[in-house]
Structures are given as C-alpha cells and as structure tokens.
Chain A
Amino acid sequence: MTKGLDGPLEIGGVTFTSRLIVGTGKYKTNEVMVDAIRASGAEMVTVAVRRVDLDRTKEEAILHHLPPEDYFLLANTAGCYTAEDAVRYARLARAAGFNEFIKLEVIGDELTLLPDVHATLEAARTLAGEGFKVMAYTNDDLITALRLEDAGCAAVMPLASPIGSGLGIVNPYFIREIKRRLEVPVIVDAGVGTASDACITMEQGVDGVLMNTALAAAGDPVRMAHAMRHGVVAGRLAYLAGRMPAREIAVPSSPTVGMLD
C-alpha cells in the first residue's frame, strides 16, 4: 500500500516494511490472536518470558501458533521491577536463540505501570554492553530518551499513555520533541486505544507504534487490526505529506468568480 510512498523502518540493522509492532498477550483465543496479527500486517511481534507450566493445566508455548520463520520475535522483560530482574529475563530470552533484540521494560509503579527510568537506564547500559539490541520502553521524557540513546539503545519507545489504558497520545508535543532530538528510531509503545490514536501518533513523525491491548481487547480484534494497519499507514503518509496550515477562518474551495447573476 505504501510502496514508493514510504521507506522501510530499520531498527538495529534489521529492516521492516510495517511500522506497526504488536503484542501477543490477552487474546481470548490463540486463533483470534493469529488472525489479528496477520490482519495487522505487523512483522515484529512481542512475547513474554515465563515459567513453563509443568502441570499443563493451561497455556502452550506461543511458538506453536506464531512460527518464528514468519515473525520477528521481540521478547520483553514485562513484569520486571528491578534492573537485575530485567537483565536476567533478557538473557533468558536471548538464550532461546532467535535474535539479540529485547524490549526492555522495568516497571516502577504497580498502579500506573509507569517505567522506573533509573532502573531502565541501568539495565539498558548493561544489556547494550552485552551486545543486545535494546528497545527501551520509557515515559515521554526527553532527557531520559536522550540518556537511553547514549546508553546504546537500538530504539527508544516512549509511551503514548499508560499501558493498557487506551487513552491515546496524551502529550504529542513531548513525543515530537523526542523524535526531533534522537537519532535512533522512536517507537511509541503503549496507550493507543483505537485507529485514530494510531494515526495521530504516527502524524507526530515517529518511526512506529507498538500496541497490544487495543487489538486484544477490541470487540472484534481482527477488524481492529485491519483498522490499526490503515491508521498507522494513514498517519505516516500524512506526516510525510505535510499537512495544510490550520486556520480559524473559512476559505472557499470553489472559484468565487463565474457565478451566475
């Protein structure tokens, strides 16, 4: 759809056509998840690292449903509250043998799930030093984003609004400022609720959007995945095209001359 209209997204030396990254959590069934991810057009999908359920009462490995040859797996450190834990999860994820990428997430508060930026920075330095391609989830703070870039992150991922909130982009100005100042890709991660949110987020000029709940918790996840795919493309192309200036007066679109007497 965007052939010739948009370039690829490159993160840590890997090239993606889609600017939408999707999670794999919270779907009602694995079938719906697979269909939604396919509809989204995403190439990179996030997964979490957890203990194998040895009682096998539920849960099978996600890889049975998402063939690693079809998707680029981005393991996360979700659920970690310390730098040490996040580093441990990242190392376990890398040992699975797919790639060096990690979505670094260190949470600082249970209620808002806002990131602990100090711990995130500490873990980012450690992991980048170990050769990880770190994609760091952070808040919409420019200084933290700059420090994460300095720490060697492959991408910096400020939130639009809290994880799972669906509130959309609450601070477009800060997101734009982060995008303006960073060299590495800026991916907005968390908070998108519907297709217009994805579109408005991409209109800020960022390189991509990562979402999970907006698809998984939609009334019809597959249909919403289609909508998100279009929303991301629409926002990206609108950004590249450059919008007309907004003005609070009307200007006619049709000629004012040649009217009948």
Chain B
Amino acid sequence: MSEQTTIKVQLNGKERVIDRGHTVRSLLAWLELTPGMVVVELNRDILERDRYEEFPVTEGDALELVHFVGGG
C-alpha cells in the first residue's frame, strides 16, 4: 500500500485536501498569503509568526487563518 500523497485538514472551517509534507509556512505560501498579514491558529494554539516553518501540517489538523478587516 503506497503512502497517501495528500491529507485532509480543516482550513477556516472547511475541509480541504492539501499535499502532504507542508509546514505552516509553506502552506501559507501555497495559499499565496503573506505571513506578516495573517495570524495562524493551529488546533486552537496561536503560532508565533517566526516559527511557522517549525510546525508540520498533518492529517486532521484544524487551521484558522485570520486577519484584520473593517469593523467598529
């Protein structure tokens, strides 16, 4: 049985299939997001921005990618 090349994750509340082997940093790059413009929560833990490459994205992870929008 060959290893799956993709994994399922929860990305901003939606199930997404992504390539296996991403770190948070490479996932942001793949999504064309500027790391400095977003805040990442991985399984409810807020990640430090300069440590994104230390966190691998694995099957079943829940990621929240948030930023500032207009509000009162």
- Per the CB 8 Å criterion, the residue count for chain B at the interface is 23
CB < 8 Å A-B pair total = 92
- Interface bits A40-59 vs B (CB < 8 Å: 1, else 0): 00000011111110100001
Question: Are A76 and B72 closer than 8 Å at their CB atoms?
Answer: yes
Task: State the Cβ distance, A238 to closest chain B Cβ, in Å.
Answer: 26
State whether the Cβ of B65 lies closer than 8 Å to any Cβ in chain A. Answer: yes
Residues of B within 8 Å of A61, CB to CB, are 37, 67-69
Expressed in whole angstroms, the Cα–Cα distance for A50 and B64 within the complex equals 10
- Per the CB 8 Å criterion, the residue count for chain A at the interface is 35
Question: B-contacting residues of A (Cβ < 8 Å)?
Answer: 23-27, 33, 46-52, 54, 59, 61-63, 73, 75-76, 78, 91-93, 95-97, 163-164, 190, 210-213
Question: A-contacting residues of B (Cβ < 8 Å)?
Answer: 11-14, 31, 33, 37-39, 41, 46-49, 64-72
Given A50-B71, A76-B71, A211-B72, 17 additional A-B pairs, CB 8 A: A23-B70, A25-B71, A26-B70, A33-B70, A46-B71, A47-B71, A48-B71, A49-B69, A50-B67, A51-B64, A54-B31, A61-B37, A62-B70, A73-B68, A93-B39, A95-B48, A95-B49
